[in-house]
Copies of this chain bind each other. A is one copy, B any other.
Amino acid sequence: MKEISSLLGYRQDIKVLDATIRDGGLVNNFQFSDEFVRELYKTNIKAGVDYMEIGYRADKELFDVNKFGKWKFCDDDEVARVIGEKDERVKLSIMADVGRCNYKQDIQDRANSPIDLIRVATYVNTIPAAVDMIEDAKNKGYEVTANVMAISTAQEGDVKAALEMLCKSPVDVIYVVDSYGSIYPEQMQRIAELYMSYGEKYGKQIGIHAHNNQQLAFANTIEAVGDGINWLDATYAGMGRGAGNCSIENLLGFLRNPKYNIFPVIKFIEDYMVPLKEGGAKWGYDLQYLMTGLLNQHPRNAIAFTDSGRKDFTEFYKEVVAQD
């Protein structure tokens, strides 16, 4: 049973990372206005959020800059221009995917960048490449996380081997990523215990990035908090790919550290997130995401179902079962 003190008190070590622009960018092709990003940054300062992930550092040889908003690439100069003067209280992060980021060329020393944290996204079977990226980023002076995706389809032995390799790298934080939104809190507790055992042995922090396919993104995040996980991803109004992420307004309401403030978050949602949704950006729990979550599948088919405006849920269920 979780200590009730974790509900009424708080842990200083907890870090909240706002991933709205990065995971939400997967919803709208990273087409956020400069004003949106700047106001979000200011809001995160007021809300007490610790890190703001401002997008990807994607390889421009692989991705056409004319097809995506600038936050898929996050040029240092452009980030610095939009953010304006940096506030010490909110650090900036970008995500770099294994195989999709020309890191040796495109990531310069931290001293010359507004970015503080590089988050390396990897699958279990690309850990050596991830470790090379981690070492490169550490050598350049950044804080670094490793976000190990899609672990719900990986073998436990492989996950352990991945953790062992990452723990021997200079990475600071290792994330549990429930990419398919298929994990229940009872399972999250076991996964957290496994990751925490490595983290404690090797002095690494553990993080959690949840998806809302089964309406469990917030529940799994606070399960992880109760299990001792300190780095928590969330997004405004839960914006994120498919069923979205843990809503930051839920999370800040739960955390009892007085540094966190829900009111500026509510204001930003009213002023920016509601208009974004009314403008046609689509994310959040719906039946098609439950189906892929239940079947532990990548959400891509559910996203295509949503984008095409389909409503024939029974036909879609037959399709996803046939994929199994």
Chain A residues within CB distance 8 Å of chain B: 1-2, 4, 6-7, 184-187, 189-190, 193, 212, 214-219, 222-223, 226, 237, 247, 249-250, 253-254, 262-263, 266-267, 269-270, 274, 287, 290-291, 294, 311-314, 317
Copies in the complex: 2
Query: 23 A–B contact pairs at CB < 8 A?
Result: A1-B186, A1-B189, A1-B190, A1-B193, A4-B190, A7-B184, A184-B222, A185-B223, A186-B222, A186-B226, A212-B215, A214-B253, A215-B215, A218-B219, A249-B287, A249-B290, A250-B290, A253-B294, A263-B314, A267-B314, A269-B313, A270-B313, A274-B311
Cα–Cα distance between A267 and B237 once the two chains are bound (Å): 29
How distant is A256 from chain B, measured CB to nearest CB, in Å?
A: 11
Q: A173 CB to closest chain B CB, in angstroms?
A: 24
Residues from chain B with a CB closer than 8 A to the CB of A193 are 1
Residue of B nearest to A316 (CB): B266
**Which residue of the partner chain B has the closest CB to A189?**
B1
Instruction: Among B6, B250, B274, point to the contact of A215 (Cβ < 8 A).
Output: B250
Q: Complex formed: what's the CA distance from A314 to B249 in Å?
A: 13
